[in-house]
Amino acid sequence: MLFIPYCTNASDCDFSQKLKLSSLMRMCEEISIKDTIRLHMGKEKTLDKGILWVISRMSFSIVEMPKYDSFFHLFTFPLKRQHCFFPRYYKIKNIYSKTIVEGEALWVLIDKDKRTIVDPVKNKILIKSYPFTKDLNVSLAYPVKDCEKVFSYKVKASDLDLNNHMTNTRYGDLLIDLLPSAFYKDKNLKSFSISFFRELNEGESIDIHYSHRDSYLFARGVVNDVKAFEAYLEFKVTN
């Protein structure tokens, strides 16, 4: 188990002075990297040998997002490996030790050049699971409904991460941008899930098909008729 204290900065927050979805995704990615280093599975065992960590799925259940200039602790636990996949659990506790965010991600290793899945056992990349108790119910999957509208986006150089593909956090911003700020003024994000099916490279154009129904936003990203990702966001009305 690893936990890190945080204080939300202005750059972490949106116009409502709450933690952005993309900031939450980034923080979870960063603490995951720190934990692999703590477990002696840092970049000398992966990146330096041409092996990359990538996320295939990420989900969150949210009671409330941390507000600007608030303190909290972010925890992460590695779960039991499933063949080539490394599940990982996250939670945020506020200053009163109340769990306000809980999440899970499914990590996998790929070859930097071939872009194919790497066998962790053959490469001696082993991470021991940690026993834990969930505080919230994280929905790991949700059927994406028919998506009626289309938003197109071309991947730029600033979207790329050290894996040389569009960083996962960028998807969070793109999804939020599908609806105007007026929609979010009386709503908070309640749950979120995204599944990745292919990488997005610089210069590629992706068509994001989306539909907003009641408290849900559904989205499907397509590149040349090939599904790149699917996501859903559920919102709750604030009092």
Q: Which domains are delineated in the chain? A: 1-138 (3.10.129.10), 141-239 (3.10.129.10)
Using alpha carbons, list the distances in angstroms from residue 115 to 44, 84, 108, 198, 212. 19, 14, 11, 10, 34
Residue 136 pLDDT class (50, 70, 90 cuts): low
Say whether pLDDT at 129 is over 70.
Answer: yes
Give the phi and the psi of residue 70 in degrees, each rounded to 5. Answer: -110, 155
Say whether pLDDT at 147 is over 80.
Answer: no
Can you give the pLDDT at residue 128?
83
- 42-60: pLDDT as tens digits: 999 999 999 999 999 999 9
Residue 123 Rama label (left phi>0; alpha psi -120 to 50; beta): alpha
Say whether pLDDT at 134 is over 80.
Answer: no
Long-range contacts, stretch 185-189, CB < 8 angstroms, 24+ apart: 185/16, 186/237, 186/238, 187/215, 187/235, 187/236, 187/237, 187/238, 188/18, 188/62, 188/64, 188/65, 188/235, 188/236, 188/238, 189/21, 189/62, 189/65, 189/233, 189/234, 189/235
- 8-38: pLDDT as tens digits: 999 999 999 999 999 999 999 999 999 999 9
Can you give the pLDDT at residue 222?
95
